[in-house]
Structures are given as structure tokens and as C-alpha cells.
Homo-oligomer: A and B are copies of this chain.
Amino acid sequence: MDLTVYLAGQIHDDWREDVKKKAKERNLPISFVGPQTNHDRSDNVGESILGEQPGKVYKDDAASDINNFRTQVLLQKSDAVIALFGEKYKQWNTAMDASAAMAMNKPTIIVRPESLIHPLKELSNKANVTVETVDQALEVLSYIYE
């Protein structure tokens, strides 16, 4: 059974490549999709496509139009979601995507370090599974195919 999994979460390191490599090693028939991971491209895509905006709020809103369009298309095509929170940054997009996914009945795995247990407790509680490492998330995905 082929599955598509949306990889929500921080875009400041290459954890998505790690997921894809490990899924390939396990021969899992899973396609992974996710947000734009080039941070500059993500921040500037509004002005790149729609032209210069009259200030930062408007530049941000233009970029968000296009980032949200992308996320909505890909999230609706996905069968499950992995949402990874790192220790830095506010990562409200990760919380937003995970929460939207759960409201859409997408089975969801949260990956977060021990330090974030308390602030993420309600979100973790709503998710299907919460783990601390990408390897554990992969084990959960593999379990579908056992």
C-alpha cells in the first residue's frame, strides 16, 4: 500500500532528507511531501511572484498566501503527518499544520525533544504518537507494513 506522508515542522536543518533516506533503507513505499525548506525562498516568495509590497507586514502576508496554498494542496493529498519541533524558534507553523491535520483526521506523529514536553503537552495528547527522534517516527511508519 503506497502512502503519502506530510513532513511538517522546522525548516532549519535537513531532517526531512534524513527521513527520506531512512525510509528508503527500509524499502517503505512512502512518498514524502512538505513545505518549502529554503527559508529565504519561503520568506521572499510573495514578493518574488506578486511584486514588491509596501512593508514587512504585507511582504509576509504575500508569502503566506503562497506557502498556505502549497501546504493545503499537499496536506490534503497526504495519508499521515509527521510534525517535528526543534528547540529553537517559535514554530507556530508546525503547531498549525499538526492541528489542522488532526482536525482533518490525518493520523499524526509528533517528534519533539524532551525539553518541549510541557509546552507541547496538549498537542502531543491529541496526536496519535509522540516520539523524540526521527528514527522512532520511522519505526512507527514501518509498523504499518509489518
The number of times this chain is found in the oligomer is: 8
A123: which B residues are within 8 A, CB to CB? Answer: 92-93, 96
Counting chain A residues whose Cβ lies within 8 A of the other chain, the interface size class is 35 or more
A81 to chain B, nearest CB (A): 11
A71: which B residues are within 8 A, CB to CB? Answer: 122
Q: Are A139 and B49 interface neighbours, CB within 8 A?
A: yes
Q: Are A74 and B125 interface neighbours, CB within 8 A?
A: no
Q: A54-B55, A90-B119, A92-B120 are in contact. Are A128 and B60 (CB under 8 A)?
A: no
Partner of A129, one of B69, B96, B122, B129: B69
A95 to chain B, nearest CB (A): 4
A124: which B residues are within 8 A, CB to CB? Answer: 61, 64
A106 to chain B, nearest CB (A): 9
In the complex, whether A146 has a CB less than 8 A from a CB of chain B is: yes
Q: What mask results when residues 1 to 37 of chain A are scored 1 for a CB within 8 Å of chain B, else 0? A: 1011000000000000000000000000001010010
- In the complex formed, the residue of B with least CB distance to A43 is B118
Give me the interface of A with B, judged by CB distance under 8 Å. 1, 3-4, 31, 33, 36, 38, 41, 45, 48-50, 54-58, 60-61, 63-74, 76-77, 79-80, 89-93, 95-100, 102-105, 107, 109, 116-126, 128-131, 136, 139-140, 143-144, 146
